[in-house]
Structure 1
């Protein structure tokens, strides 16, 4: 059985894109992050030290993303997944990265990835 802790709607503002004009601006991206976590011990003890600290996850992801510069959203999503897997002791993470209306006549574009420690 796997429990999931999620952070949906997390905003970050990296420099991201392949076009020359994109390389000089920040863009607002929205992340939905689902993280495998066993919450049973935290629930039994009612103690933060036994829980996944989602404030720490949000802060580290925003700090990393806001300080980054990548051409592809695929690269940013992959790097964020690896950060979460390595720093927060989880076995699995799903990241949905939304770049907004980056394509004419399209409401939202983005990527969804799932990564696990076994990969």
Structure 2
């Protein structure tokens, strides 16, 4: 039993040091992150021309930084925002051609809370 517990602790420590720990589901619940690194990708489908799609919300950063970029179907960045230390409101909306819009969130040793909601107008 001790070996199993030590193996579990080692696995969690390895995850923390390489990718970070993430608790929550972005766009549905506030997501709590500890030492998050790397990129996350989220997609939003736009069906009608000139409709707006994207995310709004907040980021509360204790350490590190998160950079959010919204890309249109052609891959061009239409909105972007960075979250340095502190509490920030977020609004990334894209408008234009129908297709799949991608939200790319890049984490650099991010510790804090990210609370995003999908927004359509």
Output the TM-score relative to the length of structure 1. Answer: 0.29
> By percentage of residues, which structure has more strand?
2
Larger relative contact order (C-alpha < 8 A, sep ≥ 6)?
Answer: 2
Greater percentage in helix: 1
TM-score (norm 2): 0.29
